[in-house]
Every structure is written in C-alpha cells, then in structure tokens.
C-alpha cells in the first residue's frame, strides 16, 4: 500500500469518528478536523472591544471607583487569624 493512501484513509477515519463523537455528545464538530474552534464561545457575555468603545463616556465618569478601607481592628483580626492558621500548619507538619 502507498503511504499517502494509508495516511488519507486514517484522516478520513479520524474525521468520521470525531463526527460520531460530536453527534453523541451533542457538540458540533470543528470545521477543520483536529483544530479547536477559535474566538469567543457562543453565549459569552464578554463584549468585543469595538462594542466597549461605543459606550458613552458619561457612563465612565459617573461610576467612581471607591477604595475600601480596613480599620485597625479589622487588620488585627485578620493578622490573628493568619497567625492561628500558620500555627496549625506548623503543628500538622511536625507530626
């Protein structure tokens, strides 16, 4: 048998099996066998860059970004909790 013929038969068999698998799983087969689909998946909520640029400038100005501030008491609580966690980890590794 010719090597090129064997390779083409293998490619045809792979394409056939991929289409069967896609039918069973309910996923459409990619246009080119062996290559994943490119781009944003269907149902994606992301906007393309062109749509984001079309938004009015006033919307950006009105939405101020507020910084969150942590009180000294809150920082102390977090620090104590982390120290407790680290102590527990040290106990586990020493056993």
- Condensed to tens digits (0 to 9), the pLDDT of residues 45-67 reads 777 666 555 555 555 556 678 88
Euclidean distance between CA atoms 11 and 8, whole angstroms: 5
**Lowest model confidence (mean pLDDT) among 13-17, 47-51, 56-60, 80-84:** 56-60
Q: What is the DSSP string of 7-31?
A: HHHHHHHHHHHHHHHHHHHT-PPPS
Taking 90 as the threshold, does the pLDDT of residue 15 lie above it?
yes
Euclidean distance between CA atoms 56 and 71, whole angstroms: 36
If pLDDT is split at 50, 70 and 90, which confidence band does 40 have? Answer: confident
- Computed over every residue of the chain, the mean pLDDT equals 80
Taking 80 as the threshold, does the pLDDT of residue 36 lie above it?
no
């Amino acid at each position: 048998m010719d090597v090129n013929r064997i390779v083409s038969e293998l490619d045809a068999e792979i394409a056939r099996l991929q289409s069967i698998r896609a039918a069973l799983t309910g996923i459409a087969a990619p246009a080119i066998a062996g290559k994943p689909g490119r781009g944003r998946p269907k149902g994606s909520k992301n906007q393309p860059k062109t749509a984001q640029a079309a938004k009015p400038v006033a919307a950006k100005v009105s939405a101020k970004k507020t910084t969150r501030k942590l009180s000294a008491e809150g920082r102390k609580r977090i620090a104590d909790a982390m120290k407790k966690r680290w102590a527990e980890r040290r106990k586990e590794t020493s056993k």
